[in-house]
């Protein structure tokens, strides 16, 4: 799974859709070709603090960019330098030191209008765009992490850095013809449990399974122009279906069928 997707809805519309508070301060813009290192939008739920700085028990959901830097961004240099991965396998993330703490208390949703994946042929790569047919947003399961260097003499990270990671799972149905992995897409019924910071990782383990047939049946899988191959290209034309005569080795588009 390549970590490339589109997020083009206005923050206010996303806030309504995800029953959240828009805390992006106008920083989030439509992006048709999100790639690692870009600023992204996330939905998180955190315990708010009172005027004395003490955590209150009532969770507060915020829809915010958080200064989140896309996956794969270098978040530090020197002794504490490390990389933030653009995606993590849902089957093993809870067991890895890099993600274990986030799986317990720093889960998030990453809204997307759809994601891109490339079908690899003998001599070509055909990009496909997967999205809900009714235009609603995908809720990709993610993890977020806060990082701040102990020593930052240049003042490069005055407020620290927040990064987000997409969880992936086994691809299902016809999606397996394109790639063996896909984002872990959660239905609305799973959002509250996934976002709740008081719910531990063991209690959301059932949500880490590949999507059910009902969710997959709502998806539309479109071959699109190879213009999306370059992150320099960004615009509505990247989501336009490719004419059938230009599609090499077309898929059998029954989303409930296997490869």
Question: What's the pLDDT score for residue 256?
Answer: 41
- Is residue 259 over pLDDT 90? no
Is 226 within the bounds of a domain?
A: no
Is the separation of the CB atoms in 94 and 188 below 8 Å? no
What pTM was estimated for this model as a whole? 0.83
Q: What are phi and psi of 208, to 5 degrees?
A: -90, 5
Is 258 within the bounds of a domain?
A: no
What residue numbers bound the domain in which 202 lies?
A: 4-115+135-168+180-210
Is 12 within the bounds of a domain?
A: yes
Is 235 within the bounds of a domain?
A: no
What pLDDT digit, counting tens, does each position of 154-171 carry? 677 677 777 888 999 999
Is 93 within the bounds of a domain?
A: yes
Buried b (16+ CB within 10 A) or exposed e, 232-242: eebeeebbeeb
Question: What's the pLDDT score for residue 59?
Answer: 44
Q: Which residue has the tokens 């609305």?
A: 188
**Number of domains the chain contains:** 1
Question: Distances from the Cα of 94 to the Cαs of 12, 85, 113, 200, in angstroms?
Answer: 32, 14, 27, 11
DSSP 121-173: -SS-EEEEEEEETT-PPEEEEEEEEEE--S--TT-S-TT-EEEEEEEEEE--G
Question: What's the pLDDT score for residue 229?
Answer: 92
Question: What's the pLDDT score for residue 236?
Answer: 97
Of 84 and 213, the structure prediction assigns the larger pLDDT to 213
**CATH code of 65's domain:** 3.90.1680.10
Is 230 within the bounds of a domain?
A: no
State the pLDDT confidence band at 40, using cuts at 50, 70 and 90. Answer: confident
Say whether 232 sits in a helix, a strand or coil. coil
Is 141 within the bounds of a domain?
A: yes
Mean pLDDT score, 68-90: 45
What pLDDT digit, counting tens, does each position of 198-227 carry? 999 999 999 999 999 889 999 999 999 999
Question: What's the pLDDT score for residue 72?
Answer: 33
State the pLDDT confidence band at 251, using cuts at 50, 70 and 90. Answer: low
Is 231 within the bounds of a domain?
A: no
């Amino acid at each position: 799974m390549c970590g490339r997707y589109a997020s083009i809805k206005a923050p206010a519309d996303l806030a309504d859709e995800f029953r959240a508070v828009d805390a992006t301060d106008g920083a989030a813009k439509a992006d048709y070709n999100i790639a690692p290192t870009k600023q992204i939008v996330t939905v998180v739920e955190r315990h708010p603090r009172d005027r004395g700085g003490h955590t209150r028990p009532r969770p507060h959901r915020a829809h915010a960019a958080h200064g989140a830097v896309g996956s794969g961004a270098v978040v530090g240099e020197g002794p504490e330098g490390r990389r933030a991965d653009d995606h993590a396998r849902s089957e093993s993330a809870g067991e890895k030191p890099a993600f274990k703490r986030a799986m317990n208390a720093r889960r998030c949703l990453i809204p997307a209008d759809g994601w891109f994946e490339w079908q690899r042929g003998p001599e070509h790569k055909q990009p496909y765009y997967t999205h809900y047919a009714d235009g609603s947003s995908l809720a990709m399961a993610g993890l977020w992490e806060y990082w701040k260097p102990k020593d930052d003499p240049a003042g490069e990270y005055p407020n620290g850095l927040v990064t987000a990671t997409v969880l992936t799972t086994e691809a299902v149905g016809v999606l397996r013809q394109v790639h063996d992995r896909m984002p872990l897409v959660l239905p609305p019924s799973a959002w509250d449990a996934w976002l709740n910071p008081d719910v531990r990782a063991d209690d959301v383990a059932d949500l880490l399974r590949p999507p059910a047939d009902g969710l997959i049946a709502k998806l539309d899988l479109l071959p699109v122009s190879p213009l999306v191959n370059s992150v320099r290209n960004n615009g509505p034309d990247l989501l336009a279906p490719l004419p059938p005569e230009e599609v090499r080795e077309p898929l059998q588009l029954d989303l409930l069928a296997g490869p």
